[in-house]
């Protein structure tokens, strides 16, 4: 008996991927211009869609020329979970590319770069599995998010490996930062560690940049 070799119909061979002139992604600079919202294109038909969620060349052209060394994936089972504000101090500072694969979050970046004109300021954006948007935070930013739905899953790429000795944080509700979280202090679900993080003014001379 002989078997006929065949090539299955894949996304790479369908007409959707032959649109060479279609822009792969769009980029929006937030009020702190070093923080970007990147939206990869979706190519869809009656079956669903394909999205190229990361392409090193396209992201570099968009201003994200980072080299990523680790991917992280978190699950938050309840709406109202707050994670953050987290960063790694030098010499293992991290840039992060954050996206949601299930559910939705309010994603927040806080500028902690010494001498920056926007030091202590924040920007935020809603990321969801539906909108497909991603937030890029370079080194020098603290990161946090609040889940807007149950069973929300977040993935993020980072530019340096996890280094527990450099793992730092800022209190999520620091009044000098003034983040407008979508959950009140009594309802927010936090780890014991995040409940007791220091305030920004207590972090003397620490930022997220490499020396």
The 10s digit of each residue's pLDDT in 151-198 is 999 999 999 999 999 999 999 999 999 999 999 999 999 999 999 999
**Active-site entry in 49, 54, 92, 156:** 156
Known catalytic residue: 86? yes
Catalytic member of 6, 73, 86, 161: 86
Share of the chain above pLDDT 70, in %: 85
pLDDT digits (tens, 9 = 90+) for 84-109: 999 999 999 999 999 999 999 999 99
Judge whether residue 17 has pLDDT over 90. no
Q: Are 120 and 201 in contact (CB under 8 A)?
A: no
Q: Are strands 36-40 and 25-29 parallel, antiparallel or unpaired?
A: antiparallel
d(CA 72, CA 166): 17
In order of 2, 3, 9, 14, 32, the CA distances from 6 in angstroms are: 13, 9, 9, 15, 52
Q: E strands of 67-211, at which residues?
A: 70-76, 82-88, 96-102, 104-111, 122-128, 134-137, 141-147, 152-158, 167-169
- Please identify which residue in the block is written with the tokens 């201003």: 63
pLDDT digits (tens, 9 = 90+) for 41-78: 999 999 999 999 999 999 999 999 999 999 999 999 99
Beta bridge partners of 83: 145
């Amino acid at each position: 008996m002989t078997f006929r070799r065949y090539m299955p119909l894949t996304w790479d061979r369908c007409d959707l991927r032959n649109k060479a002139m279609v822009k792969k992604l769009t980029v929006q600079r937030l009020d702190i211009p070093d923080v970007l919202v990147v939206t990869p294109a979706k190519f869809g038909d009656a079956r669903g869609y394909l999205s190229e969620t990361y392409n090193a060349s396209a992201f570099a052209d968009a201003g994200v020329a980072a080299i990523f060394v680790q991917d992280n994936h978190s699950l938050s089972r309840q709406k109202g979970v707050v994670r953050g504000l987290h960063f790694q101090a030098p010499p293992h500072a991290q840039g992060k590319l954050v996206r949601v694969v299930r559910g939705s979050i309010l994603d927040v970046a806080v500028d902690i770069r010494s001498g920056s004109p926007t030091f202590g300021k924040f920007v935020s954006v809603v990321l969801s599995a539906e909108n497909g948007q991603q937030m890029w935070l370079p080194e020098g930013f603290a990161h946090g998010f609040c889940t807007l739905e149950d069973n929300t899953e977040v993935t993020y790429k980072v530019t340096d490996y996890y280094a527990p000795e450099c793992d730092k944080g800022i209190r999520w509700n620091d009044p000098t930062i003034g983040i407008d979280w979508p959950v009140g202090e009594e309802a927010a679900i936090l780890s014991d560690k995040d409940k007791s993080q220091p305030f920004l003014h207590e972090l003397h001379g620490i930022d997220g940049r490499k020396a």
